[in-house]
Amino acid sequence: MTARPFASILDGLTRQRWVTAALVVSERDGIVVESNLQIGQSGDRLAALAASLYRKARLSAKAAGLGAVSFMQLEAPGGRICAVGGGDLVLVVVAEPAVNVGLVRVELLRAVGELLAIGGDEVG
């Protein structure tokens, strides 16, 4: 096991244009497992709140009988937060408003398989 087991996933995501941060977060604990951040970004704060948001979205979808959440996107004036879940892990991306969301979505969904292979056990 390397010190940065999710490095290839995170590097692939942060290589996308307008993506400013990518994190692997524990959904249950809201703690950063591994991250690619820019100077000044608060990974701990983002991880805690994004994991909480994703968890609530997942539970809401379940309660409404919609099944598992595959992709979550939050749009704000300053940019977007996108997340996908894999087991107990959540992959979170922060991007500027100009980002190609479709491309980020494809990359995130593709990364879920790799995320599960390294650290998860079942699709959330």
Residues at the interface with other proteins (CB under 8 A): 25-26, 28-31, 44-45, 47-49, 51-52, 55
Q: Which residue lies nearer to other proteins by CB, 48 or 101?
A: 48
Q: Least separation, in Å, of the C-beta of 26 and other proteins?
A: 8
Cα(66)–Cα(75) distance, rounded to whole angstroms? 21
Quick one: which of 73, 79, 86 has its CA closest to 25? 86
Quick one: which of 69, 94, 74, 64 has its CA closest to 84? 69
Q: Which residue lies nearer to other proteins by CB, 9 or 23?
A: 23
Q: Which residue lies nearer to other proteins by CB, 12 or 43?
A: 43
Q: Least separation, in Å, of the C-beta of 16 and other proteins?
A: 25
User: How many alpha carbons lie under 13 Å from residue 14 in its C-beta half-sphere?
Assistant: 16
